[in-house]
Structure 1
Amino acid sequence: MSHPAEALLNAQLQFFLQDFKGDALRTHLDIEANAYCDLLETISARDLLSESQVISWIERNILSYSPTDTMREQAVMLVELGLNNPSHQQQPMRQLINKQIYDLMVQRLVERPALRQELIHSALSSPVYTRVLSDVVYHSIVDYLTTDNAIARRVPGFSSLVKVSRNMLGRMGRLDETIEQAIKAYLSRNISATAKFSEQLLDKALNNDAIAQYAELVWPRLEAYQLGQATRHLETQGLSYLAVLYWNQIRQTDYMKQQISLLVQAWFAHAGNMPAMHFLRLMGIERDHIAREVVAVGEPMVNALNDSGYIERRLKEHFARFFDAPETRTLIQDLIGKQV
């Protein structure tokens, strides 16, 4: 590189480096942030990126990402630190949910009886519930037949029958197989009706007034319930491992790819053509917010890069490429020749 070119390079380098120091850096960042906001006032999201580019980025950087053990361990470490924090252990639940939010949640439940009925039906019509109900009814019948209880004592001659039943069970070890099969067959035929009846009873019991009253009774205990008690059974290692397994399974499915494409396309159809800055305002993000955060984050970051010499090295390399270019050398020689 010739002496004039090197002198120009150093002069230009020092000129730009002034923008990365002291008050000039803050001013520079503010000017650039507002200039970018000016650009966003005139162009849309679709002008910046197409739907296919956004979808491809998500597929490359999110769906293709498999969390490493180190990443999982870091997440577990942070969660466990938070859970083991003494202040967390003793914080009351009202720090997370206040009465206003709690009342709104109860109101939403009260206002959706169809959802409540669907949840009750799904729970009480499941094979698990009917099997448990069948076992409970069966053992209740057996217990009634073999126990001298207050109700049985009011029935003339029942105590004698109970004594006979006990003697039989003492010799046999259980009800006669024929009787047992008959009871179970009866339950099998009628348990669906019993379950449906219990569903009707529960739906009637959980009416709007009952839910509201119960919620009022629960709140004093809930608001004082300590977070440490609520999270003491969390097993973060196992949960994190399960979460990674689930993510690695679902991220590779066609379903996830279809969902991503559908959501991105729907968003672009809704907001892709409006000016980007206008959409940000609708989201509650003003240009002064953007400029403020660019300065707040950019200033310490640029200072660190500048102090390490990184910015000077990168600028010098790019300027050197410019001044070493044949076209630049020819231009400098022509300018020197004209001056001479």
Structure 2
Amino acid sequence: MQKHPLIEQLIEAHLDFLEQEFSHTATLQNEFLNFYQWFRKQSLQALWSFEQLNALLQKQILATPASHSLIEQITEHLRFALIHPINESTAIAEVIPVSTVDKIAQYVAGKSDHRQRLIKTVVNSPAFSAMISQLIQHAIQDYLNNSVMAKRVPGVSQFMKMGKSVLESVTDSNLEQTIGHYLQKNILKLSQMSEHVLNQHFDNDKLYHFQANLWHKIKDLPLSRLKNYIEVADLSDTVGLGHEIWDHMRQTEYLKQQLHDGIYTWYTRHQAHSFDVLLRDLNIDEALIQDELQQLLTPIIQKMVSSEYLRTRARVYLEKFYYAESTQQILKTHA
């Protein structure tokens, strides 16, 4: 492309003008706010369709695996939070409001129907039945072998052993088998008794006070106590396991459908809303734009101007404009 002296002068003058204008903070602030005033009045459906949003989120959330670097950063942030020195001087009550704890306690205690269904499910499970049976058997055997009375009263130990042998001779089996057989026949009754006892022990009032007492025991403990229950050295493994679960879930048709339907429901509800309303739902309003986001972006644009990035990129388009046939025709006409 042959350079034209007049066009080159116009391009340089144009670039000088842009550089001077955008070097002023007031210009950047004004343009930023004007853009926001335009953007906030646009409706969601006027700019983006459901298909565009769904494709973007499906790709970025589900189709894109978490990088090794991201997983390492998550691990490092968790480790840093757990070992931070301020945990030693900060009590649990300082970061968790007591009013919220009380609301949670009332909420949990008030869910009696849910709690009773959970207890019923647990006590009727084979694992619970086996555990109760083993506990009873061990308790009886331990009592016969280590009874306080048998140890302290002369002759009682021998008497209990004799009673045990008589029972075994009558039933033609050892005591453990006899007790096990009895428990197996009566496990339904034991489960019902367990359910009744648990429901009595965990009624609304008792459960609420249990939670309240637990809170009073732990509220003054330092946050550093968390290290007693979380292995800091194992964070790489635990975060890795969490990532494995997510990495599998993100590839399932189940999660793809959930995300699709969730986006569709949200989009249908908000498609006619302006971005002003949508941003306000995210706690972003004009004050935030003006006071914070604008201050964050202004230095970036100023850096673009001072480093001549803006001048270099603008020249590309100005050359296209000034050397375009239609523009050169105008210049020839007015020469």
The residue type equivalent to 2:327 in the other structure is T
Q: How does 1:105-124 map to 2 (within 5 A)?
A: 105-124=104-123
Correspondence for 2:302 = 303
- Asked if the contact 1:93/1:223 (under 8 Å) is kept, the reply is yes
Shift of the alpha carbon at 1:87?
0.7
Match of 2:159 in 1: 161
User: Does 2:55 align with 1:56?
Assistant: yes
- 2-structure distance, mates of 1:121, 1:310: 69
Matched residues, number: 325
Per-residue CA distance 1:28-66 (angstroms, 9 max, x = gap)? 33433343333432x321111111111100111111111
TM-aligned CA deviation for residue 93 of structure 1:
0.8
Alignment of 1:30-49 (within 5 A): 30-41=30-41, 43-49=42-48
Residue 125 and residue 29 in structure 1: after superposition, are their counterparts in 2 closer, same or farther (change >3 A)? farther
Q: Quote how far apart the aligned CAs of 1:86 are.
A: 0.7
Query: Does the Cα contact within 8 Å between 2:150 and 2:156 map onto a contact in 1?
Result: no
The alpha-carbon deviation at position 256 of structure 1 amounts to: 0.8
The answer on whether the counterparts of 1:146 and 1:165 sit within 8 Å (CA) in structure 2 is: no
Q: Distance in 2 between matches of 1:124 and 1:30?
A: 68
Residue pairs, 1:238-253, within 5 angstroms: 238-253=237-252
Partner residue, 1:67: 66
- One-letter identity of the residue aligned with 1:33: L
Distance 1:281 1:71, change over 3 A: closer
Distance in 1 between residues matched to 2:311 and 2:118, nearest whole Å: 65
The alignment's TM-score, normalised by the length of structure 2, stands at 0.86
Structure 1: unaligned runs, 5 residues or longer? 169-175
Aligned residues: CA RMSD: 2.8
The equivalent residue for 2:11 is: 9
* 1:227 Cα deviation from its structure 2 partner: 1.4
- How far 1:299 sits from its partner (Å)? 1.1
The 3 A distance-change label for structure 1 pair 196 and 316 is: farther
% same residue:
24
How far is 1:159 from its partner? 4.3
Q: Secondary structure at the match of 1:245?
A: helix
Indicate the larger mover: 258-267 or 62-71: 62-71
Distance 2:121 2:81 in 1: 36
Residue 198 (structure 2) pairs with residue 199 (structure 1): no
Amino acid paired to 1:17? E
**Inter-CA distance 23–39: structure 2 relative to 1 (3 Å threshold):** closer
Query: Aligned partners of 2:117 and 2:20: how far apart in 1?
Result: 68
Aligned to 2:277: 278
- Aligned-partner Cα distance in 2 for 1:231–1:45: 46
| TM-score for the superposition, normalised by structure 1 | 0.85
1:244 Cα shift? 1.6
Structure 1 partner of 2:169: none
Task: Sort the Cα spacing of 1:152 and 1:123 in 2 relative to 1 into closer, same or farther, 3 A.
Answer: farther
Question: 1:332: how far off?
Answer: 2.0
* Larger deviation, residues 43-52 vs 278-287: 278-287
Please give the alpha-carbon distance, in whole angstroms, between the structure 1 residues aligned to 2:247 and 2:147. Answer: 59
Counterpart amino acid of 1:135? Answer: Q
> Structure 1's 54 and 241: CA in aligned 2 closer, same or farther, altered over 3 A?
same
* CA 1:121–1:274: 2 relative to 1, 3 Å: same
Q: Distance in 2 between matches of 1:225 and 1:119?
A: 31
CA distance in 2 between partners of 1:165 and 1:10 (Å)? 112
Call closer, same or farther: CA 1:272–1:150 in 2, change over 3 Å.
farther
Alignment partners' CA distance in 2, 1:271 and 1:315: 37
Amino acid at match of 1:114: D
Tell whether the 8 Å contact from 1:145 to 1:165 is kept in structure 2 after alignment: no
Report the 3-state secondary structure (helix = DSSP H, G, I; strand = E; otherwise coil) of the residue aligned with 1:91. coil
Is this contact kept in 2: 1:91–1:226, CA < 8 A? yes
- Unmatched tracts of structure 2, length 5 or more: 167-171
Q: Distance in 1 between matches of 2:29 and 2:121?
A: 58
Corresponding residue SS for 2:312: helix
Q: Quote how far apart the aligned CAs of 1:284 are.
A: 4.3
- 1:113 shift after superposition: 1.4
Q: Which of the residues 167, 182, 188 maps onto 1:186?
A: 182
Aligned counterparts of 2:330 and 2:192: Cα–Cα separation in 1:
92
